[in-house]
């Protein structure tokens, strides 16, 4: 299952025509203690590069952008009660939402894991 990364520190796992989105370990570390996650609603359409969710840390609110466009098919409603999951397991249990993939061409320009690691090293 390929995993891609954005330069805004979102990750996306692609399985068939479904894609799961979350924020990276680096992102959660930068944000600090997360106290609230605002997720899209199932059935919403998200657009690549546009705001799709919001994370509130103790410090500030930060937007999470959709790495690709599509219709939201599922959200991680566990985060409503346990926003701290994004801190403890950002790249697994702390996933945000799933979308159906409408345009595979949009994967172009996203980074693979090695490229993202290199991107982080140069920040």
Partner 1 sequence: MSDDDTLEEAELGTLPLDAWHRAKGARMVPFAGYEMPIQYEGGGIVAEHNWTRESASLFDVSHMGQLSVSGENAAAELEKLVPGAVTSLGEGRMRYSLLLTEAGGVIDDLMITNAGPHIALVVNGATKWDDIAHLREHLPDEITLTHYEDQALLALQGPKAAEVLDALVPGTGGLTFMRAAAFDWNGVPLWVSRAGYTGEDGFEISVHADTAEALADALTADERVKPAGLGARDSLRLEAGLPLYGHDLTTEIDPVSAGLGFALSKKRREAGGWMGHQACAVKLKDGCASTRVGLALEGRLPAREGAPVYAGEELVGKVTSGGFSPTLSRPIAMAYVGADYAAEGTALEIEVRNKRLPATVTPMPFVPHRYYRGS
Q: Which positions touch partner 1 (CB under 8 A)?
A: 8-10, 23, 27, 30-33, 35-36, 38, 54-65, 83, 87
Backbone angles phi, psi at 55, to 5 degrees: -110, 135
| Partner residues linked to 70 by β-bridges | 46
Q: Specify the residue, 17 or 59, whose C-beta has the smaller distance to partner 1.
A: 59
Q: Which is nearer to partner 1, 33 or 74 (CB)?
A: 33
- Report how far residue 14's alpha carbon sits from residue 26's, in angstroms, rounded to the nearest whole number: 20
Q: Which of 35, 26, 44, 40 is nearest to 90 (CA)?
A: 26
* Complex with partner 1: residue 104 or 115, whichever CB lies closer: 115
Q: Report the nearest approach of partner 1 to the CB of residue 99 (Å).
A: 17
């Amino acid at each position: 299952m390929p995993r891609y990364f954005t330069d805004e520190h979102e990750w996306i796992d692609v399985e068939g025509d479904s894609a799961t989105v979350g924020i990276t370990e680096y992102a959660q570390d930068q944000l600090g203690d997360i106290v609230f996650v605002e997720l899209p609603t199932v059935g919403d359409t998200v657009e690549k590069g546009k705001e799709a969710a919001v994370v509130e840390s103790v410090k500030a609110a930060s937007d999470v952008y959709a790495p690709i466009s599509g219709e939201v098919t599922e959200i991680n409603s566990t985060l409503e009660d346990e926003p701290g999951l994004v801190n403890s397991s950002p790249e697994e249990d702390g996933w945000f939402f799933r979308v159906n993939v409408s345009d595979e061409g949009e994967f172009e320009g996203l980074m693979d894991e090695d490229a993202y690691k290199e991107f982080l090293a140069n920040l």
